Amino acid sequence: MSDASVWPVFEDEETEPRPTGPVIQLRGARKTYKSGSIEFEALRGIDLSIADGEYVAVVGPSGSGKSTIMNVLGCLDTLTSGEYLLAGENVEELDEIELAAVRGRRIGFVFQQFHLLPSLSAWRNVELPLVYAGVHRDERRERAVEALTKVGLGDRIDNRPGELSGGQQQRVAVARALVGEPTMILADEPTGNLDSRSTEDVLALFDELHEAGRTIVLITHEHDVAARSRRIVQVRDGLIQSEEVLA
C-alpha cells in the first residue's frame, strides 16, 4: 500500500488548467453563527494561503474554529465577511449550484464519522460521487473498485460498512474522496475514531496522495498526526495563532 506507483488514477492531472497562485486563499475571513438573538464569532479574521500540492495541518483546541474553516474551504458554508478564493475564483460570488459543482470537481472530503451509507456495499458507497458527476455505470464500478484496491480493500468491495472495521470504513471513505480525482482533499479529524494501526494506514494513504501532488488540508487534535504534514497552522479562538513549516 505504500508504493506510489499504485496510484495510476492520479496521472491524468491536466484536465483543467493548474492554478498559478495559491489554490486556497482566505483573506480577512470572518464567520458569525447566529442562533436566535445570540451571535457567535467563530472566525475573527483569518488570512491563510495554501499552494497547490501543499500538505497542511490545522490544529487547535475544541471550539477554536477548525471545522468552521474546513466547511468554508470545502464550500459547505460561506463567510460572513472577508474573501475566499479557490483556485483564483471568488467563492462568495457563486450560487448553491455553482458551489456544488466546485465541490464535485475539486474537493474530496473525509470526516471523523465516516459518513458511509449503511445499506450500500463498499463499492456502491465509493461510486456515489461519480453518480452525481454523471459518469456511466460501467466506468463507475471500475473506478470504484480501482479506488478500493488502492486503499487496500480490493477484497472487500461487496461488504457493507457494518461488516468492516472502523479503519476499513475510513479507508472506504478515503476511496470515496479520491474516486472523483479531486485536486484537494479536506479531512476533518479523519483519524479521530481510529486505533493507532488504522491511523497509520490512513496517514500512509495521505502521504501517497501528497507525493502524487494532491493538496491536503488535515484537521486534527493530535500532534503526532499533524506532524505528518508539511505545515502546521495553529488556530485559537477563531484566529491563526502561529504557523510552523516542517522539514
Ligand X SMILES: Nc1ncnc2c1ncn2[C@@H]1O[C@H](COP(=O)(O)OP(=O)(O)OP(=O)(O)O)[C@@H](O)[C@H]1O
The residue ranges that bind Mg ion (CB under 5 A) are 66-67
Select the span of 14-22, 33-41, 117-125, 178-186 touching ligand X (CB under 6 A): 33-41
Q: Mark residue 213 as left, alpha or beta (left: phi above 0; alpha: psi -120 to 50; beta: remaining).
A: left
Applying CB under 6 A, among 24, 42, 86, 175 the residue interacting with ligand X is 42
| Partner that binds at residue 2, options ligand X, Mg ion, none, CB closer than 5 to 8 Å by kind | none
- Residues 53-72 touching ligand X, rule: CB under 6 A, are 60, 62-68
Q: Could you say whether residue 40 binds ligand X (CB under 6 A)?
A: yes
**Residue with smaller CB distance to ligand X, 28 or 63:** 63
Contacts (Cβ under 8 Å, ≥6 apart) of 135: 143
Judged by CB, which is closer to ligand X: 87, or 226? Answer: 226
63 binds, among Mg ion, ligand X, none (CB under 5 to 8 A by kind): ligand X
Cβ-based nearer residue to ligand X, 64 or 198: 64
CB closer to ligand X, 26 vs 147: 26
Instruction: List the interface residues with ligand X, window 156-185 (CB under 6 A).
Output: none
State yes or no: residue 35 binds ligand X (CB under 6 A): yes
Residue environment code for 173-205, b if the CB has 16+ CB neighbours within 10 A, otherwise e = bbbbbbbbbbbbbbbbbbbbbbeeebbebbbeb
